[in-house]
Chain A
Amino acid sequence: AQSVTQLGSHVSVSEGALVLLRCNYSSSVPPYLFWYVQYPNQGLQLLLKYTSAATLVKGINGFEAEFKKSETSFHLTKPSAHMSDAAEYFCAVSGSYSSASKIIFGSGTRLSIRP
C-alpha cells in the first residue's frame, strides 16, 4: 500500500527566498511520485513527476524535486520564490504504471509569498 505525508500545511517565504516543500512517501514497491499545483478556483496541474529515471526531476516554473530512496522523500524546491508561486501544492504517489493502480494524494501545503 502507498501513502504520502506532507510536512507543514502552510509555508510562508519571502519573495526571492528558497522554497522547500516537504513530502515523504511509503510504498511497498518502487514508486511513481508527483507534485501538483492548484491555483485558486482551478484544477490541479502537474508540476513534475518521478518515474525511476533521474533522481533529480525538473518541472515547470523553475521547480525541481529530488527522489531520495534512503529517506523515502521527494521534496519540492525552487531557488527563488516569485509572487505567482502562491498556491496549494500536493504530493502524490502511485505504486505502478498500470491503469489498475491508484494515485494517493497528500493533504496539501499552502505556499504564501511575502513581498
Chain B
Amino acid sequence: GENVEQHPSTLSVQEGDSAVIKCTYSDSASNYFPWYKQELGKRPQLIIDIRSNVGEKKDQRIAVTLNKTAKHFSLHITETQPEDSAVYFCAASKDTDKLIFGTGTRLQVFP
C-alpha cells in the first residue's frame, strides 16, 4: 500500500526566514497531495493542496511543489511568523480518497 515519508521531524527557524518540509510517496498512482497544519491541542486544518496535473501551487506565503517523476512534494513557507509554529502533516491519496499521512514536522519559529 501507499507509504508517505516526511522530513524533517522538527524544524526551527528564525522569524522571517523560509521553511521547507519534504515528503516522498511510494505509490505512483497517487494523485492528490494535501498539507495540514495542527496547532497544539487543536484539530488538523487543510492549508494547501495540489493535484498531480499541477507542478506548483501558491497561496500567499505558502507554496507546494510536486515532482511526480521523483515521487516527492514539498511545502514552502516564506517570511515565517511565530503563528506559523505548529505541526505540519503531508498526505497522499489516489482516487479512492483515503488519505495516508506522513509522520509530521514540528515547526518552531523564534522571534
A, B assembled together: no
Taking beta carbons and an 8 Å cutoff, which residues of B are in contact with A?
none
